[in-house]
Structure 1
Amino acid sequence: MTSNVTTENSENACVVCFKNVVIYSIGECDHPVCYECSTRMRVLCRQNECPICRQDMPKVIFTTNVQLFRNIKDYTYLMDKKFKICFDNVDIQTAYSKLLEHVCNICQGRPAFRTFQNLKDHMRKEHELHYCDLCVENLKIFTGERRCYTRQELALHRRKGDPDDKSHRGHPLCEFCDQRYMDNDELFRHLRRDHLFCHFCDADGFHQYYSSYDYLRNHFRAEHFLCEEGGCVEEKFTSVFRTEIDLKAHRASVHGRTIGKAATKQSTNT
């Protein structure tokens, strides 16, 4: 039971993925979506909300006929108890199981693997093909939708993306850690969490990061106004100022008293 892509205006189209619906998923809110989208949300994403209205659905029923949930909720069904999915018949349950199978598309007729890791090991050992670990970790898609690569293809995928998929331009690299991240948002979160940035430049829209405070201090010294008198030498972030006037005011209020006390003490000793 496969679904074919159709137009958005089709009455038989899933409102989430726009594919022709063969098997519907129906929950308490009575918003029918295709069983693939429902399985993706409940099993892969572990989210039980309706994708249309966001109402929580304790259970859903997979059926080939659109019906009101209240009219069919008390029937006796085959069921996946873990994900609270009911099946109207054995064929629907089989289609659901096939969605979640880990199958090698090269070895025709070979039984499905018990886990994705088993399939991953098989592809590497038998076919010298590899999955992208970043995509596996972050993309909530079925095993049959995942792509395998040779080593050269995987390196290109990580650096620049796939030639036939212009929406993916590779996994960005953190130059400090020499580690790649799923996308620019993930890289941004990593940089903000694990590296340093200038709060003045950041507020002005310039996002520059530093691997250590020594490099950041050099930036403060070159581009802003850094106080390196007295205890400020050991201070981080709080001893730099946006303007020279702010720096002078700081020196007068903080270090002026220190200088005055030192001068008074020297005069007394003399």
Structure 2
Amino acid sequence: MDDTCVTCAEVLNWVAYGACRHKDVYCTCVARSRFISHDRCCSICKTPSNVVFVTKDLGEYTKRIGDFSVLPPDVEEGRVGNYWYHEGTQSFFDDSDHYKMIKAMCELSCSVCDGIDKFRRKEKFKDIEELKGNLFHKHKLFIIQFYGESELYTHMSTEHHTCRMCLRQDAGQYEYYKNFRDFENHFHTYHFLCEDEECLAKKFVVFLSEHELKVNYPTDENMHTQRSYV
């Protein structure tokens, strides 16, 4: 039975590994992680690797680099002795054709610009940040970042707002709002928002029922515990 990549589940034809020597990830997955996300860590053990080695997967006969320190430091793009070096992913290859394939995959161009003028020579970008800048400033577009389940939860919990009132009513109901305006609109629609200037400044003081709002308005220090500060 063929080995499969632990990231994409595709058959392992080519692998990329660092000094930790975990050869369980397809080289394309490693290249995407290093080039797009700037993640230099092994997908298996999370050990950071300044460089990785890309080679044909041959099972127990896969070519091994015993000591990564023998790889030349401070190298530039292209042929380096018996290997080929790709600067964008900090990878050494022992096969020129596969090096060219990964290099072509990592060449960044704007599909919007190319679609507008098909006869114009495609503009290349040196890194993902430069491409993002072109998309935003020229076309008012954004690159969407994708997350795994745990990464998505961390992102949503730290970068967006969720309603504690809704969670009190249904512990499994997680709805997120991109900004305070959407958040405030939600409170106006589904809950009872205190419109007192002091309470609005706290963003926000909200009640589950109109009765609670009336009981606690005007504010009374003894009743703050009945409010939900969100």
Q: TM-score, normalised by structure 1?
A: 0.47
Correspondence 1:32-47 to 2 at 5 A: 32=23, 33-47=25-39
Match of 1:200 in 2: 165
Distance 1:137 1:74, change over 3 A: same
> Residues of 1 paired with 2:8 and 2:190: CA distance?
49
Residue aligning to 1:95? 101
**Corresponding residue for residue 268 of structure 1:** none
Q: Structure 2, unaligned stretches of length 5 or more? A: 72-80, 120-138, 222-230
> 2: distance between equivalents of 1:20 and 1:36?
12
Cα distance in 2, alignment partners of residues 116 and 122 from structure 1:
8
Q: Deviations over 1:146-184 (max 9, x none)?
A: xxxxxxxxxxxxxxxxxxxxxxxxxxxxxxxxxxxxx99
CA distance in 2, matches of 1:208, 1:55: 33
Shift of 1:202: 4.7
Q: CA deviation at 1:50?
A: 0.8
**Matched residues, number:** 174
CA distance in 1, matches of 2:14, 2:30: 10
Name the CA distance, whole Å, in 1 between partners of 2:219 and 2:155.
Answer: 43
Residue in structure 2 matched with residue 70 of structure 1 by the alignment? 66
Asked whether the equivalents of residues 80 and 86 of structure 1 are also in contact (C-alpha less than 8 Å), the reply is yes
Q: One-letter code of the match for 1:116? A: S
Query: Aligned partners of 1:18, 1:53: CA distance in 2, in Å?
Result: 18
The one of 10, 14, 23 equivalent to 2:5 is: 14
CA separation in 1, counterparts of 2:185 and 2:54?
A: 60
Distance 2:13 2:53 in 1: 14
Give the Cα–Cα distance (whole angstroms) in 1 for the partners of residues 166 and 206 of structure 2. 16
TM-score in terms of structure 2 length = 0.53
- Is the CA contact (8 Å cut-off) linking 1:200 and 1:242 kept in structure 2? no
CA RMSD after TM alignment: 4.7
Structure 1 match to 2:136? none
Percent identity over paired residues: 14
2:144 aligns with 137
Task: Report the AA paired with residue 165 of structure 2.
Answer: F
**Structure with larger Rg:** 1
Q: Separation in 2 of the partners of 1:61 and 1:68?
A: 9
Select the residue among 41, 47, 52 that pairs with 1:55. Answer: 47
Quote how far apart the aligned CAs of 1:34 are: 1.9
Does 1:121 find its partner at 2:81? no
In 2, are the aligned partners of 1:29 and 1:55 still within 8 Å (CA)? yes
Partner AA of 1:21 in structure 2: L
Residue 240 to residue 40, structure 1, CA distance change in 2 (3 Å): closer
